[in-house]
Amino acid sequence: MKEKVILAYSGGLDTTAIIPWLKENFDYEVICCCIDCGQGNELDGLEERAKLSGASKLYIENIIDEFCDDYIMPCVKAGAVYENKYLLGTSMARPVIAKRLVEIARKEGATAICHGATGKGNDQIRFELGIKALAPDLKIIAPWRMTDVWTMQSREDEIEYCKQHGIDLPFSADSSYSRDRNLWHISHEGLELEEPGNEPNYEHLLVLGVSPEKAPDEGEYVTMTFEKGIPTSINGKAMKVSEIITTLNELGGKHGIGIVDIVENRVVGMKSRGVYETPGGTILMEAHEQLEELVLDRATMETKKDMGNKFAQIVYEGKWFTPLREAIQAFVDVTQEYVTGEVKFKLYKGNIIKAGTTSPYTLYNESLASFTTGDLYDHNDASGFITLFGLPLKVRAMKMAEVEAQKEN
């Protein structure tokens, strides 16, 4: 009886070519597994393609709600943004994909999991760290790193290989962007983006929305509610998280929100340039932060910012299934206990403009903040505070003056 391998299958040229390659070089029974994180019409026709390519079975696993509730929302609540710009769209999806691949491997009694990530990217790390954490006994096959066996170096090579194995599929060798899409975002790499000196060709590139220049000339108001850091409604309509992100994607795309051009530092040590479209995610992160401004005290905000940056690094590096991620997430969940309220904003040509925030737990006190004197604040109290708060500066200045005086004498 042949050993089984689970192939993380997208239906693209790379993973299609991998099916006959696995059978030819390892004599595996290949079971394809496509994890649906919100790729949309990219899943059309996959079953026929997988079977035609030699797979014995295809799983299409819809994990959109799990992805949103258990992976996206912890990152939103943490305010996790990698290198100040990247909202972790691909990074967040890889651990939940790895988890489901392991579950299918256990169900099928497979001995190995195969992925099509290259040896230059971050995804190989994210997939493999997830698999190692959940199933250390399973073998991992990464064809692009097996250069003694995987000899294909281009799309033309892969198309020819497929034809040699009786697989004639509608793939072309023409160049296009390398993209990754899920419900949260779509990433674009390649073509003119490989040279940081080039401006992105947004007319050719954008998928989820339009550039700010092409957005409507009139802004659109949006109201959202949150309960303990989790979004619960848009414009008065209650929705689950996946529906909220879908709706925000439509709104954000329409108004040119969430287009980011970044040169980021990959885990493997190189810099890479890409453009990310995250229309709904950008709005959700901003609205959540807008509410936190009202309800979190200064010390908690400062610490949470540090924890958010650390959380982003952990997720980016593929270390989701670690005690550190769990510990930081536990801290973040405590900070979200009172992040409840309503946020209103206007979307206009790439901008998210505040239009009012309310919360039953707001720490904003009009009596304290007003320019008029209130009952809770005596202006004279500031004198003693400034004396003590500035004491280290004063002591140092006095000491430096003393040292200078000694030098002159």
Contact 34, 43 (CB under 8 A): yes
Residues with Cβ within 8 Å of 17's Cβ and at least 6 positions away in sequence, in order, are 152, 158, 161, 162
Catalytic residue selected from 10, 14, 49, 359: 14
Phi-psi region of 15 (alpha: psi -120 to 50; beta: other; left: phi over 0): alpha
**Which residue of the set 36, 123, 126, 273 is catalytic?**
123
How many CA atoms are closer than 13 Å to the CA of 257, on its beta-carbon side?
A: 25
Token output for 176: 């296009």
Q: Which structure tokens are listed for 171?
A: 């793939």
Q: What does 373-408 look like in DSSP terms, one character per residue?
A: --TT--TTHHHHHHHHHTHHHHHHHHHHHHHHHHHH
Q: From the candidates 10, 36, 53, 94, which is the catalytic residue?
A: 94
- Catalytic residue, from 56, 70, 157, 178: name it: 178
Q: Is-contact 232 226, C-beta < 8 A?
A: yes
14 annotated active-site: yes
Sheet holding 186-189, edge to edge: 178-181, 186-189, 271-277, 259-265
Residue whose token pair is 């943004």? 81
Cα–Cα distance measured from residue 210 to residue 198, given in angstroms and rounded to the nearest whole number: 19
Q: Please indicate whether residue 123 is annotated as part of the active site.
A: yes
Note if 178 is an active site residue: yes
Q: Indicate which residues carry an active-site annotation.
A: 14, 94, 123, 178
